Structure 1
Amino acid sequence: MTTDPYSQDGVLKNKFGEKDPKKLEILEKRSTIRGWIKLQNELIATPNLKLDTALIKKIHKNLFEDVYDWAGQYRTVNIVKGKTMFANALYVPAALEDLVTKLNRDITSKSITSNNVSEKLAYYYGELNMIHPFREGNGRTQKIFIEKVADKLGYTLQLEKIDSKKLLEVTIESVNGTGRPLKKAFEEVIVTKHFKSQSEQPHINSKSVTSINVSKNNYDLER
């Protein structure tokens, strides 16, 4: 990636006009926590939630709309991190559409069962990571999306119980080696869904959000 229109002097252009990366990280985290609370309450209140590209873009937009002008928009530049080259920006829209189509086909055909649910969720999580639809915030977006996939299937995927560094490591392993460690990590935190209906699910507010289950795990996965 030779030029990056999203950055200036090594810092992502942002609505705060902040040029210090450390300060931007703090401002971003505060904003995304507020966006996360709003988003979760909207999703809880949405019956028959559609698992599509619009949802993925909505998640990203809600998290980052107070920080970046391009929140909810697919990236237009290619991204390489370490030895990992993510999907070419030109192919992101089509690749993401193909992935969610395949996911919904699996759900409709009931080919995702209690015997393979962790493997399937790990697969779609890894594939979404490789597509890397956005310039920033992919990890946080894909965590929320895959949790909603699990919910649709009748499970609760408690990714906040996985140490953020460990989750990043097994996600990288799924790209460069095998998906078994990611599957194993998912197996350790997936349980049957606690709430049987929409009306039984709690409203989320700032007082119910702790620094452990939001700030550390949900938001530090991937910068």
Structure 2
Amino acid sequence: MSKYQLDSSPIYIDGTDIPKNKLNITDSELIHEIEQNLLTQAYEQFSVQVNINTVFDEEYFVNLHKKTLESLYDFAGLYRNVNMSKGDSQFCLAEYLQNESARIFNALKDDNYLSNILDKKEFATKLAYYQGELIALHPFYEVNGRILRLFFDMLCIYNDYSIIDYTDSIANGKYIQASIECVQYADTGKLEKIIFNGLIKR
């Protein structure tokens, strides 16, 4: 589990980078395994619920985090209220987080949740833009990347694509590098290529 730099550390067990949790787990490998199991269950649950009336707004996004992780964390579904960085990447400052989140989701709504885009390359470009925005936002204390990928996978299902295959890019570190470039340079080029290569029309 990677270490974040925070102005304060309201959610971690003292002296560790392990989040305080409802199961009182102090082993980082075990808690990561439980998170992954919860994510797997979430994919199964939410993918069958996606339909023509699903609204991919901020409430839906927050609810993904809450419903996926509420059995493990008290902070599930809550935006952070402290500044957070990782390495040289400074995520959205906490004081601007709510406004920036609203801006992103209002723009996605104005884009009709990408439902009018028929071209795969244009679809990938838009996905990379919005995913990059949420990567830089980094609204939750923990499990940001996996929840936002869950969100965009559900958006793909909504638009008649299969979930995005990130397997190779995560394994070889290219996804992390692409995410860093989204935050530090607002450059989504590498992320767009990863998404395009992982997109399959159903």
User: Which bin holds the TM-score, normalised by the shorter protein?
Assistant: 0.7 to 0.9
Q: Structure 1 regions of 5+ residues with no counterpart?
A: 195-223
Q: Quick one: structure 1 residues 155 and 29, their matched pair in 2 at CA, closer, same or farther if it must change by over 3 Å?
A: closer
Q: Which residue of 2 aligns with 1:84?
A: 89
Q: Deviations along 1:170-222, whole A, 9 cap, x unmatched?
A: 22223234321111111112222x2xxxxxxxxxxxxxxxxxxxxxxxxxxxx
Local SS of the residue matching 2:59: helix
Q: Which residue of 1 aligns with 2:3?
A: none
Identity of aligned residues (%): 27
Q: Which residue of 2 aligns with 1:140?
A: 146
In structure 2, what is the Cα distance between the partners aligned to 1:35 and 1:158?
16
User: Which one is further off, 176-185 or 31-40?
Assistant: 31-40
Q: Which residue of 2 aligns with 1:128?
A: 134
Contact 2:43 2:150 in 1 (8 A): no
Local SS of the residue matching 1:32: helix
Q: Structure 2 regions of 5+ residues with no counterpart?
A: 1-5
In structure 2, what is the Cα distance between the partners aligned to 1:187 and 1:107?
20
Local SS of the residue matching 2:162: strand
Q: Please, what is the CA RMSD of the aligned residues?
A: 2.2
User: Which one is further off, 19-28 or 46-55?
Assistant: 19-28
Code of the aligned partner of 1:167: Y
TM-score with structure 2 length normalisation?
0.83
Code of the aligned partner of 1:171: S
In structure 2, what is the Cα distance between the partners aligned to 1:121 and 1:27?
28
User: Which one is further off, 75-84 or 90-99?
Assistant: 90-99
Instruction: Count how many residue pairs are aligned between Structure 1 and Structure 2.
Output: 191
**1:183 equivalent among 187, 192, 196:** 192
In structure 1, what is the Cα distance between the partners aligned to 2:91 and 2:45?
30
In structure 2, what is the Cα distance between the partners aligned to 1:162 and 1:107?
30
User: Which one is further off, 55-64 or 25-34?
Assistant: 25-34
Deviation at 1:157, TM superposition (A): 4.3
